[in-house]
Amino acid sequence: MRGLMMDAPLLITTILRHAERNHPDQEIVSVTSDHERHRYRYREFADRARQVANALDQLGAGSEARIATIAWNDFRHLELYYGVSGSGRVLHTINPRLFEEQLVYIINHAEDEWIFVDPAFIAMLEKVEDQCPTVKGYVVMTSAEAMPQTSLKNVQCYETLVSAQSTQYNWPELDERTASCLCYTSGTTGNPKGVLYDHRSSVLHAYGMALPDTTSLSATDAVLAVVPMFHVNAWGFPYASLLVGAKMVFPGPKLSVPETLTDLINDEQVTVAGAVPTVWLGLLDYIRKTGRSLEPLNRTCIGGSACPVSMMEEFRDEHGVTVLHAWGMTEMSPLGVLNRPKPAQIGLAGEELREQIAKQGRAVPGVEIKITDDDNNELPWDGEAYGALKVRGYWVCADYYRLDGTAGSHEDGWFETGDVATIDPHGFLKITDRTKDVIKSGGEWISSIELENIAVAHPQVQEAAVVGHIHTKWQERPLLVVVPNPGEQPDQGELLSWFDGKVAKWWIPNGVVFVEEIPHTATGKISKLTLRNQLEDYRFPDDDAA
């Protein structure tokens, strides 16, 4: 027997409608290249999203057109999130840090029709314009007064185009499976792959994200999305914040300027923020030096790479901020697990607490997780067994865009994440490595993430990475790469003895290399591939045969 409930499709425009009707006075505050601090309210935002939809009609954008953005986090980008997807088109958010060839590849692969671009990235597009035949024109995301000179053909100014449109628009009643957004994820090898979100997955993800044991978002929060809107839809904050009616704060081009972030947190009374660990590394360093306060901040969502325990402790002990350690990926919209205690974890202290918070967390409702061995047998949730991490759920990618059948182990309906993990009896997942970054010493696995976590807690270390490096006797041994704190010259032997008693003796790295900078990928993760290539000629001191 079928139920008799309404068939209301899960559409991004339902979030917008709810937000406009119930929270018209809520604020959206942005730093942009043409505004030091732009602010308006949900009601104006909703009008502008409808104007964007009308503008796309005027530009003649097709009903399923891919509309690209190369832009920082700000109110205009948010208008495109809703105006493009709401009108049935697909918003393709492009990472401006991509290499030129990758940029050309994804514009052509997505067959983008129009590109909305921040003035800062015009030069990048001028170089590749001739190689992108599907693009009909460009819209520069600024005001008429700030419009830069450009050699791009068929260029419009965002403010001139959008403000001339009607604020009335009848959002179409789309099928909830209609594609809404396209985000390419660049692996270390091969071309980037497109993950195509739909309205249903985005709305369900927003609900999952707002739950009390996830980010616990509310209408009384002010959310600072530092994580870029080109990186997995800023982790879903643009949808979840509007869903609950929270104030939104965007850092624009200043997303890695600690002073601006601190100003925004204090001036705009930001209670929740989200960013990768490297951003927080810079911010905490700035706070230590200036003695400024993060008083309004209540919690920070940290993911993208493992959050060092020392960082979580500093946030908690010095600033009263709860770190929400989370794991996910582009293919998961991105939320997979998040670390919030269950009754059994309340009251943990000392080393037990440190071990607990180092974990990435437990499955968000809507996502299932499991670990398997090489023969695809499920491994126990005992906190000991390591295995390939597989996931499925409402907002997990079933296939990549125009690359049929490459989204992992689909024969049994699970997506293979490429991560290796343990899961404890309480359901808390701990990532030990990317499959390809696992260090295999004499056939035994060593977790690089665990070693990095210990290294960054050393008082003289600013950033650390551990990679597997060739060793004649053991095939591979851990090599520690360290960026010292400014003005510090740590002693190699002393650094290595820092690991004594913290891990098994055979896990301790065999060598240390000091560098000024550790290479990062376009999404701010440590690029272990680049690092391994850079260290190709290194030989361990104890590798006599080398």
Just list the catalytic residues: 185, 331, 440, 445
Q: Closest approach of Cβ 111 to ligand AMP, in Å?
A: 23
Q: Closest approach of Cβ 180 to ligand AMP, in Å?
A: 18
Cα 528 from chain centroid? 18
> Which of 251, 334 has the CB closer to ligand AMP?
334
By CB under 6 A, name the one of 199, 340, 434, 532 that touches ligand AMP: 434
Q: Closest approach of Cβ 107 to ligand AMP, in Å?
A: 19
Task: Tell me how crowded residue 509 is: count the other CB atoms within 10 A of its CB.
Answer: 25
* Contact status: 272 vs ligand AMP (CB under 6 A): no
Query: In this structure, what are the phi and psi dihedrals at residue 39, rounded to the nearest 5 degrees?
Result: -140, 140
Q: Scanning residues 489 to 508, which ones bind ligand AMP (CB under 6 A)?
A: none
For residue 90, which of 109, 120, 69, 64 has the smallest C-alpha distance? 64
* Contact status: 305 vs ligand AMP (CB under 6 A): yes
Q: Closest approach of Cβ 464 to ligand AMP, in Å?
A: 14
By CB under 6 A, name the one of 81, 207, 315, 327 that touches ligand AMP: 327
Pairwise CA distance, residues 30 & 38, whole Å: 5
Contact criterion met (CB below 8 Å) for 83 and 46: no
Q: Closest approach of Cβ 382 to ligand AMP, in Å?
A: 20
* Contact status: 509 vs ligand AMP (CB under 6 A): no
> Which of 215, 523 has the CB closer to ligand AMP?
523
Q: Closest approach of Cβ 192 to ligand AMP, in Å?
A: 10
| Number of residues in contact with ligand AMP under rule CB under 6 A | 20
Contact criterion met (CB below 8 Å) for 503 and 450: yes
Please report how many Cα atoms fall inside a 13 Å half-sphere around the Cα of residue 531, on the Cβ side.
26
Angle between helices 42-59 and 12-22 (to 10 degrees): 140
Identify which range of 204-212, 258-266, 300-308, 390-398 contacts ligand AMP by CB under 6 A: 300-308
Q: Which residues pair with 461 in a beta bridge?
A: 484
Q: SS3 of 509, please? A: coil
* Contact status: 32 vs ligand AMP (CB under 6 A): no
* Contact status: 401 vs ligand AMP (CB under 6 A): no
* Contact status: 338 vs ligand AMP (CB under 6 A): no
For residue 303, which of 238, 243, 215 has the smallest C-alpha distance? 215
* Contact status: 52 vs ligand AMP (CB under 6 A): no
Please report how many Cα atoms fall inside a 13 Å half-sphere around the Cα of residue 48, on the Cβ side.
18
For residue 226, which of 288, 285, 296, 276 has the smallest C-alpha distance? 276
For residue 355, which of 503, 232, 515 has the smallest C-alpha distance? 503
* Contact status: 323 vs ligand AMP (CB under 6 A): no
* Contact status: 362 vs ligand AMP (CB under 6 A): no
Contact criterion met (CB below 8 Å) for 231 and 523: yes
Identify which range of 326-334, 372-380, 474-482, 526-534 contacts ligand AMP by CB under 6 A: 326-334
Identify which range of 199-207, 208-216, 250-258, 304-312 contacts ligand AMP by CB under 6 A: 304-312
Contact criterion met (CB below 8 Å) for 248 and 15: no
Task: Draw the binding track, 513-532, toward ligand AMP (x: CB under 6 A; -: no contact).
Answer: ----------x---------
Q: Please, what's the b/e burial string for 88-124 (b: 16 or more CB within 10 A of its CB; e: otherwise)?
A: bbbbbbbbbbbeeebbbbbbebbebbbbbbbbbbbee
Contact criterion met (CB below 8 Å) for 118 and 72: yes
Which residue is listed with tokens 């205690």?
341
* Contact status: 15 vs ligand AMP (CB under 6 A): no
Pairwise CA distance, residues 131 & 105, whole Å: 9
By CB under 6 A, name the one of 431, 451, 495, 531 that touches ligand AMP: 431
By CB under 6 A, name the one of 51, 165, 180, 185 that touches ligand AMP: 185
* Contact status: 381 vs ligand AMP (CB under 6 A): no
* Strand 90-93 to 66-70 pairing: parallel
Q: Closest approach of Cβ 360 to ligand AMP, in Å?
A: 5
By CB under 6 A, name the one of 26, 165, 214, 360 that touches ligand AMP: 360
Q: Closest approach of Cβ 110 to ligand AMP, in Å?
A: 17
> Which of 296, 418 has the CB closer to ligand AMP?
418
> Which of 283, 337 has the CB closer to ligand AMP?
337
By CB under 6 A, name the one of 419, 450, 452, 463 that touches ligand AMP: 419
Cα distances from 107 to residues 69, 89, 111, 314, 357, in angstroms, run 10, 16, 6, 41, 40
Q: Closest approach of Cβ 68 to ligand AMP, in Å?
A: 19
Pairwise CA distance, residues 61 & 425, whole Å: 52
Q: Closest approach of Cβ 58 to ligand AMP, in Å?
A: 35
By CB under 6 A, name the one of 232, 261, 391, 526 that touches ligand AMP: 232
Q: Which residues pair with 41 in a beta bridge?
A: 27
By CB under 6 A, name the one of 93, 201, 372, 417 that touches ligand AMP: 417
> Which of 88, 304 has the CB closer to ligand AMP?
304
For residue 448, which of 459, 436, 460 has the smallest C-alpha distance? 436
Q: Alpha helix (H) ranges present in 320-447?
A: 350-357
Pairwise CA distance, residues 277 & 413, whole Å: 32
Task: Draw the binding track, 454-473, toward ligand AMP (x: CB under 6 A; -: no contact).
Answer: --------------------
Task: Tell me how crowded residue 313 is: count the other CB atoms within 10 A of its CB.
Answer: 15
Binding-site ranges for ligand AMP (CB under 6 A):
185, 232, 303-306, 325-330, 334, 360, 417-419, 431, 434, 523
